[in-house]
Amino acid sequence: MSEDGLPVPTVVEGFANIGDDAWRVGPTDGMRVPAVLFASPALLEKVEDDAARQLMNVASLPGIVAAAFAMPDVHSGYGFPIGCVAATDVAAGGVISPGGVGFDISCGVRLIETPLTRDDLVPRLDTLMDALDVTVPRGLGRGAVWHLDGRRTLESVLREGAVAAVRAGFGDDEDLRRCEDSGVLSCAEIAEVSERAFERGLGQVGSLGSGNHFLEVQVVEQVFDERTAAAFGLFSSQVCVMIHCGSRGLGHQICSDHVRTMIGAMARYGISVPDRQLACAPVDSPDGRAYFGAMAAAANYGRANRQALTEAVRRSFRRAVGTDRLTLCYDVSHNLAKLEHHEVDGVRRLLCVHRKGATLALPPGHPDLPEELRGHGQPVLIPGSMGSASYVLAGVDPGRAFSSACHGAGRAMSRHAAARAVRGDTLRRELEDAHIAVRASSDRGLAEEAPLAYKDVDDVVATCERAGLARRIARLRPLGVLKG
């Protein structure tokens, strides 16, 4: 409220509707391009002023093209909002920003498919959850699935990602076919990874972490497109496992190291930013290249992490249910910057596309997709909040925001607010009353991830579809939740 008692307009009220659940403002006040927000009217009301301002700040970055895009699950972050896509023109001095990727580099989602139906699993669900509880390390000091024998092995993880994990016996080559980038970015530069990052990474390959990271046993509740679902390996009532985690302490350290470096370096490039967490350098500069190489190393770590955890899931299923014939639907990252060619104003350009809390959604026909998926578009994996639905989407043609889609439900409430509103033990009971088995390390961690802390994932995903970002293929709901 203003001093005279009148309601103060929210920042998003300054955005104009441009159709298909898309809203736009600018460019004004230092913005180089417009800010475009994808949201239903209900989601638009939940966009915080901070998130909208952060999006407009992103639109002021040197070399940014087209627009600063916010996905339907956008919420305020550090510098960049979470749920943001921003592409910069490399040849035009466009920048790369660690804040535009996020602390948890290559945080992502993997969906594992089983041959089981819900009816097959339910009698053995508690046994399975107990097995997962033991075999999936999470939280502080609980170790990791892959005990690296030293720095050289970690170096191979940073160079080769999920490929290194498969070579070490965690899974097989078929898994790699269903990973974004086949599980590895070839541009990793381990010389740009600090000693601290190495130390933090040594003991965490094959660990879940805590916070909003989880492993869920899920069932396919609804199929929207039978043909594409079949191509993805999905069927109604199928039991699946969704893993959400990233590059752990190593990725965080790399982000911290390079944000600090760029804060000090920006003046050399004549760059100033309204928020230090937006610190950046030209992609084509020593500092830009250094971060990009380190980021790729962290991305490889995140892919290896999820690959090692997949093996723990296979072991648990073998022990509890008698099968380890688990296959991979797909593995996506939702915190990454990639060099991609896109047409902007009729000209093909090399862009640095930042996706922070946003997922690549390659359209049908894209050559980077494995052959059996090429006719359908890339699987896009959307975890809902704990206890709510998750989704599998598919990339569409032509797509928008440089072929990007949302990454989850998006927080609607801070962790502190959620912990004040919800008791973890009460939530645990509510989930169990809803027949969702829970294995969580702390009640507070559970409370902070309560469904009421997140936006409506059904609305987020429906908005993605209406806005032409991706289309719904299947809806899954949880049977069991494992959290750090």
Partner 1 sequence: MDEALQALVEEFAEAQEEPTSRLLPLAATEGAGQDALVQLFEQVIYAVDVFSIIPVRFHLADTEDGGVAGDMEVIPASRAEIVGPVPKGVSYHDLSLIHDDGTWRCHVLIDV
Q: List, by residue number, the catalytic residues.
A: 407
Nearest approach, Cβ of 210 to partner 1 (angstroms)? 4
Q: Does 410 bind partner 1 (CB under 8 A)?
A: no
Among 17, 28, 426, 442, binds partner 1 (CB under 8 A): 442
Residue 302 contacts partner 1 per CB under 8 A: no
Rounded to a whole number of angstroms, the minimum distance from the CB of residue 279 to partner 1 is: 8
Q: Per rule CB under 8 A, is residue 211 in the interface with partner 1?
A: yes
Specify the residue, 377 or 484, whose C-beta has the smaller distance to partner 1: 484
Residue type for position 118: R
Restricting to residues 332-371, name those near partner 1 by CB under 8 A. none
How far apart are CB 256 and partner 1 at their closest, in Å? 5
Output the smallest distance, CB 219 to partner 1, in A.
27
Q: Whose CA is closest to 130, among 321, 276, 405, 292?
A: 321
- Report if residue 480 touches partner 1, rule: CB under 8 A: no
Nearer to partner 1, 255 or 436 (CB): 255
Six-digit token pair at 443?
């009640």
Nearest distance in Å: CB 311, partner 1: 23
The DSSP bridge pattern shows strands 281-282 and 327-333 to be unpaired
Q: Could you write out the three-class secondary structure of the chain?
A: CCCCCCCCCCHHHHCEEEECCEEEECCCCCCCCCEEEECCHHHHHCCCHHHHHHHHHHCCCCCEEEEEEEEEEEECCCCCCEEEEEEEEHHHCCEECHHHCCCCCCCEEEEEEEEEEHHHHHHHHHHHHHHHHHHCCCCCCCCCCCCCCCHHHHHHHHHHHHHHHHHCCCCCHHHHHCEHHHHCCCCCCHHHCCHHHHHHHCCCCCCCCCCCCEEEEEEEEEECCHHHHHHHCCCCCEEEEEEEECCHHHHHHHHHHHHHHHHHHHHHHCCCCCCHHHCCEECCCHHHHHHHHHHHHHHHHHHHHHHHHHHHHHHHHHHHHCCCCCEEEEEEECEEEEEEEEEECCEEEEEEEEEECCEECCCCCCCCCCHHHCCCCCEEEECCCCCCCEEEEEECCCCCCCCEECCCCCECCCHHHHHHHCCHHHHHHHHHHCCCEEEECCHHHHHHCCHHHECCHHHHHHHHHHCCCEEEEEEEEEEEEEEC
Does 277 bind partner 1 (CB under 8 A)? Our answer is yes
Contact assessment for residue 241 and residue 312, using Cβ atoms and an 8 Å cutoff: no
Q: Rule CB under 8 A: is residue 210 a binding residue for partner 1?
A: yes
- Residues touching partner 1, count (CB under 8 A): 36
Residue 448 binding partner 1, by CB under 8 A: yes
- With CB under 8 A as the contact rule, which of the stretches 226-234, 244-252, 281-289, 349-357 interacts with partner 1? 244-252
- Residue number with CB closer to partner 1 (278 or 380): 278
**75 binds partner 1 per the rule CB under 8 A:** no
Residue 445 makes contact with partner 1 by CB under 8 A? yes
408 near partner 1, rule: CB under 8 A: no
Minimum Å gap between C-beta 142 and partner 1 is 9
Each residue 76-105 as x (binds partner 1 by CB under 8 A) or -, in order, gives: -xxx-----------------------xx-
Least Å from the CB of residue 102 to partner 1? 8
Site string for partner 1, 129-168 (x = CB under 8 A): ----------xxx---------------------------
Q: Which span (7-15, 333-341, 436-444, 456-464) binds partner 1, by CB under 8 A?
A: 436-444
Give the contact letters, 172-201, x = binds to partner 1 (CB under 8 A), - = no: ------------------------x--xx-
Q: Which range of residues in 64-72, 161-169, 275-283, 345-353 is near partner 1 by CB under 8 A?
A: 275-283
* Contact partners, residue 174, CB within 8 Å, separation at least 6: 327, 328
- CB 267 → partner 1: shortest distance, Å? 16
The rounded distance, in Å, linking the Cα atoms of 213 and 217 is 14
Q: Does 255 bind partner 1 (CB under 8 A)?
A: yes
In the complex, which residues of this chain contact partner 1 (CB under 8 A)? 77-79, 103-104, 139-141, 196, 199-200, 203, 209-211, 248-249, 252-253, 255-256, 259, 263, 275-277, 279, 415, 419, 441-445, 448, 484
